[in-house]
């Protein structure tokens, strides 16, 4: 402790040469800050996109309101769940602890945007209207409405121009559109958000779903929602279900299912790799720019550094100058990077309806990366210090 | 070798390079400089003057022979000892070598900061005093870029002398200056050195400043020549 105080005192007593050097050459300082800011924004955007992708593609799985989930063994992800036989539900209800088992039907439909009259791809979800399937209060309040034929609930965070349509609906006007040959009417609004594969989603009853998908059979279910009796252990019931049901289905807990979806995106889609690579590129761009600035700075002060060494300063003192510059640059570059990235998140979120947010953990990660970036550049740049040998210069 | 000598060089040889490329630049140098003495070393370019100066200043380590600076043996000293030895000397170079990002005052106080024993306010107070002594009290907060060549060299002298070193080593301090500035700079060096009682070893080509010396030594082809010849050349 005493040693630390002494060190801090020595630091405070020291002439802040790194800071003064940076401050003296404003152009160089601005170049470095711009470089780091750019690199940080790049990294923030890449991480943001990757996270938004994971989040937006698991929003419906996350919103599911059930203890256990049954899906086909061939299921890949929420968009490609395949189907399995509805009779698995009857078999499931034999297991002690299972209170109810409800089917969910999923499919991709082309619907005509009522405002622009353009066709877009929407995820259509058919659920039992007497039993809430999602933890979405706006949907659950309107379950009665979708019992009527050809009524759907519309995700108002869907990608595309729907503002006028939403306004019309809120003023009590009737809003209709077409899916295939059928005319459907919007019966309510809820908000989840678009994903990369689907522009938005519609929720309706299972009967309506089958009307809109005449080729699908009621017996071919996409996903099964199992609710347990109070006090039942989800993991134990899951194991029993898995043992009892045939191999064409798999049983997962709700969290296990969300992990299954995340795992699929992370491993199966190239997007995790692409955005990881993008972040790495940003990092390398930052290292190169900061190295360029720091090594030019060291080069242009070689004579002065050699003089300091002739006066009796140690090499570590000169290293300290470069490290100080690296730390100052990290902080000065990170702050505008963070601010601009926040703005860019807002813009992107507004333009794409992707859920982009800035968790504190990501800001800390990028700050740490910035320190590493500047530290690495500084470490390479200090190799030039070897040239500051007073005996060779004078 | 009495205690009265601040620099004692005995049978010093020095070579650059190794193997077939080895080239000896200093041959059997013997030189004793008493405390408080001002010695000018002169001679043609490439005769080894600067090499001898850098050896005495601890900027490179001596290879064979003996080299004692203020009682410390420098031959075969470790890097760490050399760094410490450098702090006993004030160095003045041909180019002023002031740090462009620091004001005159900050540059001068670096000469105290390296000693590591004074707090910042005290360093700044002494540096300001020193600048006043070289006649730059009006310019303490100027950056080197805003000072004339003579003023910069005076700041460099202040930096070298602010820690009251026992030895001042100067390498062509007037080479880049006009006659008057050069004269001023040398006079200031001379007066301050006498005042502080420090030893000066000054390497120069400049015949105009030889009069400040207590003694002149002449070097040619890596050998110090005898005194009588020297006096003749100095004329």
Q: With beta carbons under 8 A apart, name residues in chain A contacting B91.
A: 307, 310-311
Domain range for A204: 74-246
Angstrom CA distances, A232 to A64, A96, A294, A298, stand at: 19, 9, 63, 68
Q: Is pLDDT larger for residue A239 or for residue B74? A: A239
pLDDT in tens, B175-229: 877 888 888 888 888 888 888 888 999 998 888 888 888 888 888 888 887 654 5
pLDDT in tens, A264-282: 887 777 878 888 899 999 9
Closest by CA position to B224, among listed B80, B53, B108: B53
Look at residue A317 in the predicted model and tell me its pLDDT.
87
Q: With beta carbons under 8 A apart, name residues in chain B contacting A308.
A: 99, 110, 114
Task: Give yes or no for B93 touching A (CB within 8 A).
Answer: yes
Considering only alpha carbons, which residue of chain B is nearest residue A18? B101
Listed residues A246, A279, A306: the one ending a domain: A246
Look at residue B96 in the predicted model and tell me its pLDDT.
67
Look at residue B35 in the predicted model and tell me its pLDDT.
85
Q: With beta carbons under 8 A apart, name residues in chain B contacting A304.
A: 97-100
Inter-chain touch A391–B84, beta carbons under 8 Å: no
Locate the domains of chain B by residue range.
36-60+87-234
In this structure, the answer to whether residues A30 and A119 fall within a common structural domain is no
Is position A173 within any domain? yes
Inter-chain touch A310–B84, beta carbons under 8 Å: no
In this structure, the answer to whether residues A178 and A276 fall within a common structural domain is no
Is position A9 within any domain? no
SS (H, E, C) A9-53: HHHHHCCCHHHHHHHHCHHHHHHHHHHHHHHHHHHHHHHHHHHHH
Closest by CA position to A209, among listed A153, A125, A128, A89: A125
Angstrom CA distances, A272 to A53, A87, A258, A265, A352, stand at: 9, 37, 17, 8, 19
Rounded percentage of chain B residues whose pLDDT exceeds 70: 94
In this structure, the answer to whether residues A81 and A222 fall within a common structural domain is yes
Look at residue B128 in the predicted model and tell me its pLDDT.
92
Listed residues A229, A246, A263: the one ending a domain: A246
Q: Rounded to a whole number, what is the distance in Å from the CA of A313 to chain B's nearest CA?
A: 6
Say if strands A220-221 and A84-85 run parallel, antiparallel, or are unpaired. antiparallel
pLDDT in tens, A375-392: 888 888 888 777 777 776
Q: With beta carbons under 8 A apart, name residues in chain B contacting A386.
A: none
- Phi and psi of B51, rounded to 5°? -60, -45
Q: Which fold has domain B36-60+87-234?
A: Rossmann fold (3.40.50)
Distance CA B89, CA B108 (A): 14
> Where are the alpha helices (H) located in chain B, listed in sequence order?
49-56, 79-86, 104-113, 120-133, 149-161, 179-196, 227-234
Q: What is the mean pLDDT of residues B1-24?
A: 79
Contact A175, A184 (CB under 8 A): no
If one counts the domains in chain A, the total is 2
Q: What is the mean pLDDT of residues A303-320?
A: 87
Q: Rounded to a whole number, what is the distance in Å from the CA of A30 to chain B's nearest CA?
A: 16
Look at residue A207 in the predicted model and tell me its pLDDT.
93
Contact B13, B36 (CB under 8 A): no
Listed residues A195, A213, A246: the one ending a domain: A246
Is position A5 within any domain? no
pLDDT at B2 > cutoff 70: no
In this structure, the answer to whether residues A208 and A314 fall within a common structural domain is no
In this structure, the answer to whether residues A44 and A105 fall within a common structural domain is no
In this structure, the answer to whether residues A99 and A242 fall within a common structural domain is yes
pLDDT at A123 > cutoff 60: yes
Considering only alpha carbons, which residue of chain B is nearest residue A314? B83
Contact A107, A186 (CB under 8 A): no
Look at residue A222 in the predicted model and tell me its pLDDT.
93
pLDDT at B47 > cutoff 90: no
Q: With beta carbons under 8 A apart, name residues in chain A contacting B113.
A: 14-15
Confidence of residue A5 (pLDDT cuts 50, 70, 90): low
Q: With beta carbons under 8 A apart, name residues in chain A contacting B111.
A: 311
pLDDT in tens, A62-72: 899 999 999 99
Is position A299 within any domain? yes
Look at residue A392 in the predicted model and tell me its pLDDT.
67
Is position A358 within any domain? yes
Inter-chain touch A391–B60, beta carbons under 8 Å: yes
Inter-chain touch A307–B97, beta carbons under 8 Å: yes
Is position A302 within any domain? yes
pLDDT in tens, A185-232: 999 999 988 776 778 899 999 999 999 998 888 899 999 999 999 988
Look at residue A310 in the predicted model and tell me its pLDDT.
87
- ipTM for the predicted complex comes to 0.87
Look at residue A336 in the predicted model and tell me its pLDDT.
95
């Amino acid at each position: 402790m005493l040693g630390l105080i002494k060190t801090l005192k020595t630091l405070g007593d020291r002439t802040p040469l790194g800071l003064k050097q940076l401050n003296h050459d404003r152009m160089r300082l601005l170049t470095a800050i711009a470089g780091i800011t750019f690199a940080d924004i790049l990294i923030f955007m890449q991480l943001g996109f990757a996270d938004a992708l994971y989040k937006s593609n698991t929003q419906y799985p996350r919103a599911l309101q059930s203890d256990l989930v049954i899906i086909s063994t061939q299921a890949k992800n929420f968009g490609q769940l395949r189907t399995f036989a509805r009779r698995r539900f009857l078999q499931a209800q034999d297991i002690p602890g299972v209170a109810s088992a409800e089917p969910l039907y999923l499919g991709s439909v082309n619907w005509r945007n009522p405002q622009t009259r353009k066709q877009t791809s929407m995820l259509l979800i058919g659920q039992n209207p007497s039993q809430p399937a999602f933890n979405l209060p706006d949907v659950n309040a309107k379950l009665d409405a979708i019992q009527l034929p050809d009524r759907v609930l519309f995700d108002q965070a869907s990608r595309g121009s729907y503002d006028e349509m939403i306004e019309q609906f809120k003023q009590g006007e009737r809003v209709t559109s077409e899916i295939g040959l059928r005319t459907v009417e919007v019966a309510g609004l809820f908000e989840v958000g678009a994903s990369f594969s689907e522009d938005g989603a519609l929720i309706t009853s299972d009967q309506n779903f089958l009307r809109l998908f005449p080729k699908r059979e009621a017996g071919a279910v996409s996903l099964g929602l199992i609710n347990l009796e109070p006090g039942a252990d989800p993991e134990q019931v899951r194991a029993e279900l898995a043992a009892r049901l045939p191999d064409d289905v798999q049983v997962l807990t709700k969290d296990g299912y969300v992990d299954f979806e995340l795992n699929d995106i992370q491993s199966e889609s190239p997007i995790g790799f692409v955005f990881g690579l993008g972040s790495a590129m940003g990092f390398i761009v930052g290292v190169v720019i900061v190295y360029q600035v720091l090594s030019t700075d060291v080069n242009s002060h070689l004579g002065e550094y050699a003089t300091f060494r002739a006066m009796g300063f140690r090499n570590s003192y000169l290293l300290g100058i470069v490290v100080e510059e690296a730390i100052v640059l990290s902080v000065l570059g990170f702050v505008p990077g963070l601010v601009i990235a926040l703005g860019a998140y807002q813009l992107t979120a507004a333009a794409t309806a992707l859920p982009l947010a800035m968790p504190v953990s990501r800001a800390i990660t990028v700050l740490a990366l910035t320190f590493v970036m500047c530290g690495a550049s500084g470490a390479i740049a200090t190799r030039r210090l070897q040239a500051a040998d007073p005996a060779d210069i004078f | 070798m009495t205690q009265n000598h601040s620099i004692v060089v005995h049978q010093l040889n020095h070579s650059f390079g190794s193997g077939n490329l080895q080239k000896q630049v200093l041959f059997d140098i013997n030189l004793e400089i008493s405390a408080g003495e001002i010695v000018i070393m002169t001679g043609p370019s490439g005769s080894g003057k600067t090499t001898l100066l850098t050896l005495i200043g601890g900027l490179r380590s001596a290879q064979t022979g003996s080299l004692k600076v203020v009682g410390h043996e420098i031959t075969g000293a470790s890097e760490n000892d050399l760094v410490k030895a450098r702090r006993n000397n004030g160095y003045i170079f041909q180019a002023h070598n002031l740090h462009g990002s620091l004001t005159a005052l900050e540059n001068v106080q670096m000469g105290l900061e390296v000693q590591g024993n004074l707090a910042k306010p005290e360093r700044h107070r002494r540096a300001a005093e020193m600048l006043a002594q070289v006649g730059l009290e009006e310019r303490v907060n100027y950056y080197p870029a805003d000072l004339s060549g003579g003023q910069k060299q005076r700041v460099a002298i202040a930096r070298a002398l602010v820690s009251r070193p026992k030895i001042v080593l100067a390498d062509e301090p007037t080479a880049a200056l006009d006659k008057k500035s050069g004269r001023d700079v040398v006079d200031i060096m001379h007066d301050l050195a006498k005042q502080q009682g420090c030893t000066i070893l000054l390497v120069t080509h400049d015949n105009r400043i030889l009069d400040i010396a207590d003694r002149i030594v002449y070097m040619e082809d890596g050998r110090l020549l005898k005194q009588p010849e020297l006096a003749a050349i100095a004329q």
